[in-house]
Structure 1
Amino acid sequence: MDNSLDLLHQKIDQLSAQVAVLSAHQERQIRRQQEFDELKQDMIPIANHMIKLSIEELAEIGDEFRIEDLLFLMKRIMRNTHMVLAMFDRLEGLMGVADEVEMLGKQVFNFTVEELDRLERQGYFSFALEGWRILERIITEFTDDDVRELGDNIVTILTTVRNMTQPEIMTLANNAVGAIQEELPVSDKVSTWSLIRELGNPKVRRGMARMINILKALDEPEISKN
């Protein structure tokens, strides 16, 4: 008798457990249904709005869009899947190159900033500013006719500058400037006889010969091209 009661209690417990499981499952199903209903209620206005927008957009396209075109496009994409994948691979490669270019651009920018700072500290910008002011003065001081005449005689000017920068001419000019700047002692008296005596100095004779050549050249009608 006791065994029968125990067996009956076990069956009742098993049934109670199964009922509890079924009840929990039913509750979950009810909650899921409620959540689905709530989601459906939320999605219906959104779907209606999307359908309305789609209709408006398709209305703008008009008769130019046909469903056959969409199907043809999908077929082309499916038929050329490998090309699409290759395009994405190249796009990924370009993105990698873009990252490298960005890093390189930062390095170039930093280098440029450092170089500009160095040039500013060394006075290059100040020198360029003063040079620009000189150029402005030249532009304001000279007319168009002056510039035109300068262009007509630029070859002669450059030839003259080239001849003047020869070593012997520069040495002669430097010696002449040094002699002009040299002050004679106060006690020295410059008399006619002292000047005549200086004529016996070979340097004086060579200097006078150069002066005579210069005086002769001043009377020439054309400037030498050498």
Structure 2
Amino acid sequence: MTNEELILQRLDALEAKLTPLIKDRQKWTEFKDDLIPLQNHAVALFIEQLQEVEAGFQLEDALTLVKRSMRSIKNFLFILKATDNIIDFVTDLEPLLKSAVPKMIEHLDELERKGVFRIVKSMLDIRAKIAAAYDHHDIEQIGDGLVALLALAKKMADPRTLAFLEKMAEIPASLDLSQAPKVGPFGLISAGFNPEVKEGLGVLMALTKAMAKLKTDGHVPDKVVRPAEIAS
């Protein structure tokens, strides 16, 4: 092999090695050419955004933010730790919520079936109607009246009062007024000898004597008036 052939062979080998490098160089050049317009657009957009915040942003503020952030690093760590605790709490609470929420929904559905919500809505409607019909002065007077009625109900809760009212309520059921005979003056005189009539008249006189106290002090005395005391 002559020297010329040897040189040509080496040149071919060198060309074969340089060809991939040249292709890579061309690809990189093409990539750079494609990237330059995007880079220019990004820089222009970045500058435009900076112009919008230029009036409210100063470099000193950024430095102050960095320094305060460095001084508050313990607070940041505390916040992160608290966040971890909250996440752990929610993670532990999730199974309970999965079992409690359906029960709560079931309970609310049961209340809906029983009409509790409709009753509450009706009560709110009643309050709205009362508010529309009466002013606050009227409501105060009504409240005072309700307090007085409650006091009266408390007095009526006395065992003796309840026993008296219960006996009075039993009287109409034991009577048949359609069978009541006509009674004249002589009938009244003869009925006065009946023991039951005597007891009834005694009770009536005791009630009459007790009701006379209303004219003096405005309330029934605590002392029990007995029929035997009428003559006193």
Task: Give the corresponding residue for 1:86.
Answer: 77
Task: Map 1:134-145 onto structure 2 (within 5 A).
Answer: 135=127
User: Aligned in 2, Cα 1:113/1:70: closer, same or farther, shift over 3 Å?
Assistant: same
CA RMSD of aligned residues (A): 4.6
Matched, 1:65 2:61: no
TM-fit CA distance, 1:57: 2.9
2:204 to 201, 208, 213: 208
Asked whether the 8 Å contact 1:156–1:225 carries over to 2, the reply is: no
Task: Map 1:169-208 onto structure 2 (within 5 A).
Answer: 169-184=161-176, 189=181, 191=183, 192-193=187-188, 195-200=191-196, 204=200, 207-208=203-204
Within 2, Cα distance between the matches of 1:217 and 1:110? 64
Q: Aligned residue pairs: how many? A: 204
Q: Unpaired runs of 5+ in structure 2? A: 1-8, 223-232
User: Aligned in 2, Cα 1:90/1:146: closer, same or farther, shift over 3 Å?
Assistant: closer
Asked whether the 8 Å contact 1:198–1:204 carries over to 2, the reply is: no
The CA deviation string for residues 186-210 of structure 1, in whole angstroms up to 9 with x for no partner, is 5564643574244556752563244
AA partner of residue 216 (structure 1): A
> Is the partner of 1:219 in helix, strand or coil?
helix
Q: Unpaired runs of 5+ in structure 1? A: 1-14
Task: Give the corresponding residue for 2:111.
Answer: 119
The CA deviation string for residues 73-108 of structure 1, in whole angstroms up to 9 with x for no partner, is 66877x679659736743751661584498476766
TM-fit CA distance, 1:120: 1.4
Task: Give the corresponding residue for 1:46.
Answer: 38
Task: Give the corresponding residue for 1:8.
Answer: none
User: Aligned in 2, Cα 1:208/1:64: closer, same or farther, shift over 3 Å?
Assistant: closer
Asked whether the 8 Å contact 1:199–1:205 carries over to 2, the reply is: no
- What is the TM-score with the length of structure 2 in the denominator? 0.58
TM-fit CA distance, 1:174: 1.9
Task: Give the corresponding residue for 1:219.
Answer: 215
- What is the TM-score with the length of structure 1 in the denominator? 0.60
Q: Which has the higher contact order (CA 8 A, sep 6+)?
A: 1
> Is the partner of 2:216 in helix, strand or coil?
coil
Asked whether the 8 Å contact 2:210–2:220 carries over to 1, the reply is: no
Asked whether the 8 Å contact 2:111–2:117 carries over to 1, the reply is: yes
